[in-house]
Amino acid sequence: MSEDAQWEKAIEYTKFLKGARENVESMKARYTDLQITEQDLEHLRSLQNDLLILVIGTERCSDTAGNMPILAKMADISSKIQLRILDSDANATYHQQFKVNGKMKTPVVLFLNPKHEELCRWVERPNAAYKVINEATNPSLESRTKELKKLYSDPEIQRQSVNEFMDLILRADFISGRS
């Protein structure tokens, strides 16, 4: 199935939050508390091309809940960015095509042009979070989930996500013909 069809099936962030049953309060808090710098604002306001961001994820996923508010805030700041979320569980067949090392990862963030062509992609979590999780002494799923929830409240981890997303947003703008 093409990105055109997936984009049409995807929902806006406010609708995603209204339908979410898990991590809602933490997503709202992360959106509210996120520190956006003057340089971030300048970059977002300087975008020349329309950009669509399609996130394949679920509110149950700590990585999705940790990063979705950042993308939502960026989209709210820039009139050039539209954000939509596609439920990874309900669209598992489509999600399958984005495996990393044979495993499905969530979220998958696709940066698309208005023709729904993929310009770049980001998967799962910021590099700083990988480092912390990989160095954890207790690798149980419950322990990792708890650690991730704590990590995504850390301003340094949020800054890492902002920087990684900003780099991809600017790259997508240049690929689309920024002068």
Which domains, ranges and CATH numbers included, belong to the chain? 3-175 (3.40.30.10)
In tens, the pLDDT along 120-135 reads: 999 999 887 777 666 6
126 close to 154: Cβ distance less than 8 angstroms: no
Q: Which residues pair with 57 in a beta bridge?
A: 87
What is the pLDDT at residue 122? Answer: 97
> What secondary structure letter does DSSP report for 106?
S
What does the buried/exposed string (b/e) look like for 23-35 if buried means 16 or more CB atoms within 10 Å of the residue's CB?
Answer: beebbeebbeebe
What is the pLDDT at residue 141? Answer: 67
> Which residues, other chains included, contact 41 with Cβ-Cβ below 8 Å and sequence gap of 6+?
77
What is the pLDDT at residue 148? Answer: 78
6 close to 54: Cβ distance less than 8 angstroms: yes
27 close to 69: Cβ distance less than 8 angstroms: yes
In the predicted model, what is the mean pLDDT of the chain?
92
Q: Where are the alpha helices (DSSP H) in the chain?
A: 3-9, 13-19, 24-33, 38-45, 62-77, 92-95, 127-134, 141-151, 155-175
pLDDT at 1 over 60: no
Predicted confidence band of residue 138 (pLDDT cuts 50, 70, 90) = low
In tens, the pLDDT along 74-104 reads: 999 999 999 999 999 999 999 999 999 899 9
In tens, the pLDDT along 6-61 reads: 999 999 999 999 999 999 999 999 999 999 999 999 999 999 999 999 999 999 99
pLDDT at 164 over 70: yes
